[in-house]
Amino acid sequence: MLCPKCGAEALEGTSLCSQCGEQLAPQSAPVIAEPEIKDKPAKFGLPLLALLGAAALVVGPFLRWVFQSNDSQSLTMQGLYWSPATALYVLGALVFVVTLVLKEKERQMSVALTVLGALCLALVFHFVYVVYDEPGLAWGDIREGFYVSAVGAFFTTLAGCPLFRRLMI
């Protein structure tokens, strides 16, 4: 480093010139600009959990909900034969519509998804109550349609929470 007054060579780290006593400005390290990190905008701006929940609610009623087999008969019941499962199908379609219509209105979508998810969870848990109340049916008789619909109801409810709604596609 050179002294700005007399031009003499000064040692690194010194604050005064050894020749003339001039105060030397501390040499600062070069400033490297950090790149600005921006959130990658979502392509469609739709909440992922709401769409997954709606898809599971629409598909679940088409799958088997109960399969019971004994020596004399075999019983298979699809979700659509049970009226609350049909309601889950309709609510799943409604979740799709709400997600598309309210995608710009975050607060309204949060409330709507929470209410729809709660309704779906109530219907799913009502089915559990029916299974335990029905003579001859056991927990092992419940099939994949129930589980798919239960996951859909859970995802729809979570999609109403602002923390989880950040997961977008």
Per-residue pLDDT, averaged over 131-135, amounts to 70
User: For 76-101, what is the mean pLDDT?
Assistant: 80
CA dihedral for 69, 147, 117, 95, sign (positive or negative): negative
Examine the pLDDT at 91 and tell me if it is beyond 70. yes
C-alpha separations of 152 from 32, 79, 104, 143, 163 in Å: 48, 14, 23, 15, 18
Confidence of residue 47 (pLDDT cuts 50, 70, 90): confident
Among 52-56, 68-72, 103-107, 153-157, the minimum mean pLDDT is found in 68-72
Does position 39 have pLDDT exceeding 60, yes or no?
Answer: no
For residues 103-127, average pLDDT: 86
Per-residue model confidence (pLDDT) at position 16:
80
Residue 129 pLDDT > 70 = yes
CA distance 98 to 89: 14
> Where in the chain are the domains?
48-165
* Contact partners, residue 127, CB within 8 Å, separation at least 6: 65, 82, 84, 85, 146
Evaluate whether 109 touches 47 at the Cβ level (below 8 Å): yes
Beta strands, E only, 15-165: 64-69, 74-78
pLDDT bucket at 28, cuts 50 / 70 / 90: low
pLDDT in tens, 138-148: 667 777 888 88
Between residues 168 and 42, the one the model is more confident about: 168
Task: Give the mean pLDDT of the chain.
Answer: 77
Contacts of 129 (CB under 8 A, 6+ apart): none
Q: How far from the centroid of its chain's Cα atoms is residue 100's Cα?
A: 16
